[in-house]
Amino acid sequence: MDTAGLVARTLRGDPRAVARAISLVENAAPELGELMAGLAPRTGRARLVGLTGPPGVGKSTSTSALVTALRERGDRVGVLAVDPSSPFTGGALLGDRVRMQDHATDTGVFIRSMASRGHLGGLSWATPHALRVLDAAGFDVVLVETVGVGQAEVDIARHADTTVVLCAPGMGDGVQVAKAGVLEVADLFVVNKADHDGAHATVRELRQMVSQADRGAAEWRPPIVSTVAASGTGIEELVERLDEHHTHLRDSGELGRRRHVRAREEIEAIVLHALRERVADVHGHAALDTLADEVASGEGDPYSAAGTLLAALER
């Protein structure tokens, strides 16, 4: 299939084309530029909802329940499960995918796991690119699920319009959420397993933290929704709160601001990648490594090294 054909089929929402397009993203294929240019006019419509939280909190179950609820009202739903394998851990396990099988025969649902390797310090550009594909393919809502390990749970807020942070009762989760700095990026909290002991305490703790972090009446104050995702309890309320947040984002202009920042970072990531490639073309693949070694050893300074890279572009 040529790229133009792939674009056309992706825009029609053909699941095999969508899967193929995301594979091109994962492999950083040379056709990416043409693919993204073809998809661009149809992007910006999907609502991007990030879900994060520590392992065992019920992210997969919650995602699945959310898919069911959104499907009931006719939304087409894309799910991107991002594995934030870091250079440190070499691979974190994502939650149980089994429940996702519930949606295996539903053509209005597209589910994809994706490894997010790439540069130190966060999810790579693969995530925003994959979200672009799902957006252009006409999904009304795209859920991005990531396991909450440090950096990743903060990073997901950079890719989503709305960030949902999941907690579960016990184990000082509330305290953990506050300390990990997740409070600042959460637009909505879910206390899942709300039928377990200690759920009320967790809600209370979260409520207190949210009220302390309150930044004035005009701003969004993250609601706290109690759910039992396994039975669907509370999911309807979760959908309502997500709708409210989307309305808030749109009416306040924050949606545009978030998407602007995202686009800017995406552009700059591509520029930096192109730059690395060109330097490799001009100076050989070891050039940047050599420069970095020189700077690390004190033989060179970072500004002169940067000048060398920039000069490579001006040939």
Q: How far is the CB of 271 from a copy of itself (least distance, A)?
A: 5
Residue type, 22: I
Please work out the total of residues on this chain that contact a copy of itself, with binding judged by CB under 8 A.
73
Phi and psi angles of residue 278, each rounded to the nearest 5 degrees, phi first: -65, -40
73-102 residues in contact with a copy of itself (CB under 8 A) are 86, 88-89
117 binds a copy of itself (CB under 8 A): no
Task: Tell me the DSSP string of the chain.
Answer: --HHHHHHHHHTT-HHHHHHHHHHHHTT-TTHHHHHHHHGGG-S-SEEEEEEE-TTS-HHHHHHHHHHHHHHTT--EEEEEEE---TTTS-PPP---GGGGGGTT-TTEEEEEEE---SSSS--THHHHHHHHHHHTT-SEEEEEEE--THHHHHGGGT-SEEEEEE-SSTTHHHHHHHTTGGGT-SEEEE--TTSTTHHHHHHHHHHHHHHT---TTS----EEE-BTTTTBTHHHHHHHHHHHHHHHHHHTHHHHHHHHHHHHHHHHHHHHHHHHHHHHHH-TTHHHHHHHHHHHTSS-HHHHHHHHHHHH--
Identify which of residues 12 and 119 has a Cβ nearer to a copy of itself in the complex. Answer: 119
32 binds a copy of itself (CB under 8 A): yes
54 binds a copy of itself (CB under 8 A): yes
Identify which of residues 2 and 314 has a Cβ nearer to a copy of itself in the complex. Answer: 314
120-139 residues in contact with a copy of itself (CB under 8 A) are 120-122
Identify which of residues 105 and 211 has a Cβ nearer to a copy of itself in the complex. Answer: 211
Task: Compose the 199-238 pattern: x for residues touching a copy of itself by CB under 8 A, - for all others.
Answer: ----------------------------------------
181-200 residues in contact with a copy of itself (CB under 8 A) are 181-182, 184-185
33 binds a copy of itself (CB under 8 A): yes
Q: How far is the CB of 294 from a copy of itself (least distance, A)?
A: 8
> Judged by CB under 8 A, which of 41, 74, 216, 253 binds a copy of itself?
41
Q: How far is the CB of 22 from a copy of itself (least distance, A)?
A: 16
286-315 residues in contact with a copy of itself (CB under 8 A) are 288-289, 291-293, 295-306, 309-310, 313-314
243-282 residues in contact with a copy of itself (CB under 8 A) are 256, 259-268, 270-272, 274-275
